[in-house]
Chain A
C-alpha cells in the first residue's frame, strides 16, 4: 500500500508541474519543445556520466539541464536567423540526439546506461530508489526531486505570473511596457527543461511531451467553450482547474496499478471533452 502511494504521488507531481507549464507552451504554440528537450538531454546525461563516473542523479540532472538550456538557446538562435520554428526544433534535437547515441555506442563498454530506460521510464521502480541521510529513510528520491521542481515552478510562476501572461499573449505590449521578454522566455524554457529532466526518470521522456500538451489542451477545451470571454480570462481558469483535475485523474488511473496504461484514461477523458466542447459551440452558434 505504501508503494502504491509513492507511485501515485510521483505521477501526480509530474503531472501537476507539466500541466502548469504546458499552458504557457501551448499558448506560445511551442508544444513540441518538450519533445525536443526530452530527446536532446541524452548527450547531457552521457557526458555527465562520463565526467562524474557515477550514476548519481544529481550530476546527471545538472548535465541534462545544461544541455536542455543549450537546446532552447540553439532553437532560438536558428529562429532569429530566419528558420521557421518547427524546422529549427527538428534540426536541433535530432542533431543532439544523434550525438548522444554516438556517445553511448562509443563508450558502450563503460557506460552502464540503458537507452530504453531513459526514453520510456518506469514509474513502478520509483519507490525502491530511496534517499538515505545517515541512517534515516526519507522516502523515494524521485519524489523529493519532483517536489522541489514543482515548488520552484510554482514559486517562479506565481511571482511573475502577470509578466508571463503578458509575454504569452502579447509580446509587443510586453516589450513596450519594459518587460524583458527574452529573459522570461528563457526562464520559462529553463523551467520546462528542468521539469522534463526531473520527470523522465520516472515516466519517460516521450510521455512527458504528452503531459505537457494534453493536460493544458483539456483546459483550453473544457472552459474555452463555456466562457466566451477574452483569452486572458479563460487562461486564468485553465491554470487553476487543470492542476487540480489532472492530479485527480492520476489518482484514478494509478489505482488500477497498470502503470503503462497511465495515458489511456486521459485519452477517454480527452475525447469526452472534445465532443462536449463541440456540442457547446454548435449550441451557441444556433
Chain B
C-alpha cells in the first residue's frame, strides 16, 4: 500500500508537467513501448527477475521517446500521429517477441502476462522496496529541478534565452516519466499507468492556477487514489487494485470538474448567470434612458 501511495504521488507530480506540455498521452505510449524491452530482457537472460525487466523496459521506452522527438522534429508528421505510430510499432514488435517466447518456452513465460497487467497485491517485499525507492527518487528530482521544469513547460524559448540547456532538461523530464511508467507498470499495469499520469493532474488543474499548488495537489490526488484503490481491493475479494485506483482517481476528477472553484462547471455556471443578469440590467437601463430621451424630444 505504501508503494501505491508513493507511486501515485510521484506520477501525479510528473503528470502535471506532462499535462502542461500537452503530452498527456506520452505515458500511454511509453507503457506500451516497454513491452519489447521486457521481452528482450527475458529472451536474453531466460530468467524472470524484476530489476532486469525494469532495465529492459527503461531502455526501450527511452528509445521510444527519442524516436518521438526525432520524428516530430524532422518530419511533417504531427505530434499526436507520431505518438500513435510509435505506440503501435513498439507494441507490435513486443507482441511478436512475446508470441515467440510463448512458443518456445511454454510454462516458463507465464509470469510475463501478469507483469503487463499488473497486480499490486502480488508484489513481494523486494519489489515494494524498489518501487518505493524509485518513487522517492522521482519526487526528489522533481523538487530539485522544480524551477527549471516550470520554465520549460511554460516558456521554452525564454528558458533558452537565459541559457538553460532546454533540450537536455526536456530529455530529463522524459526520462523521469519513463522511470515512473516502468516502475508503475508492475503495480497497476500497462494501460492504467497512463491514467495515473493524466487523471490526477487534470483534476488538480481545476483547483488552482499556480503550478506549485497544482503539483502538490496532483501528488496528493494520486496518493489518495492509490490508498483508496488498495484498500477497496483488499476488502472486496477478487478485485484487482490497479483498475480500482484508476477509478477512484477518475471519481476525483469528476468531482473536481463539477465543484472546482473558478473553473468548475458549477462555479462557471454561476459566473455566467451573474454576467447575464448584469447584462440584462444594463440593457434595461439603457432602454429606459433612450425611451426617456425619446419622450423628451
User: Using a CB–CB distance below 8 Å, which chain A residues touch chain B?
Assistant: 26, 29-32, 34-35, 39, 78, 81-84, 86-91, 94-95, 97-99, 101-102, 105-106, 108, 115-116, 120, 204, 206-207, 209-214, 217, 220-221, 224-225, 260-264, 267, 270, 274, 277-278
Q: List 18 other contacts, CB 8 Å, given A35-B84, A260-B95, A264-B92.
A: A26-B81, A31-B84, A35-B87, A84-B22, A86-B22, A87-B202, A95-B247, A98-B195, A98-B250, A102-B240, A106-B239, A213-B81, A221-B75, A221-B77, A260-B92, A263-B89, A263-B93, A274-B71
How many chain B residues touch the partner (CB < 8 A)?
52
B32 touches A206 (CB 8 A): yes
Cβ contacts under 8 Å, A86 to chain B:
22-25, 80
**Considering residues A95, A97, A99, which has the most beta carbons from chain B within 10 angstroms of its beta carbon?**
A95
Within 8 A of A (CB), among B207-225: none
> Looking at B25, B99, B113, which has the most chain A CB atoms within 10 Å of its CB?
B25
Flag if A224 contacts B76 (CB, 8 Å). yes
Q: Looking at A87, A97, A212, which has the most chain B CB atoms within 10 Å of its CB?
A: A87
Residue among A29, A89, A91, A225 facing the most chain B CB atoms (10 A cut-off): A91
What are the residues of chain A within 8 A of B22 when measuring CB–CB? 84, 86
CB neighbours (8 Å) of A81 from chain B are 257, 265
The 10 residue pairs across chains A and B that have the minimum distance between CB atoms:
A210-B88, A98-B243, A94-B195, A213-B84, A90-B198, A31-B84, A263-B92, A95-B250, A98-B246, A260-B96
Partner of A213 from B85, B92, B195, B202 at Cβ < 8 Å? B85
Give the contacting residue for B84; candidates A204, A209, A270; CB below 8 A: A209
| A39 in contact with B191 (CB, 8 Å) | yes
30 contacts between A and B (CB under 8 A): A30-B80, A31-B81, A31-B83, A34-B84, A35-B28, A35-B87, A81-B257, A86-B22, A87-B19, A87-B202, A90-B27, A90-B197, A94-B198, A94-B246, A95-B195, A98-B195, A98-B242, A98-B247, A101-B117, A101-B242, A102-B247, A106-B238, A120-B95, A206-B92, A210-B84, A210-B85, A210-B87, A210-B88, A221-B76, A278-B75
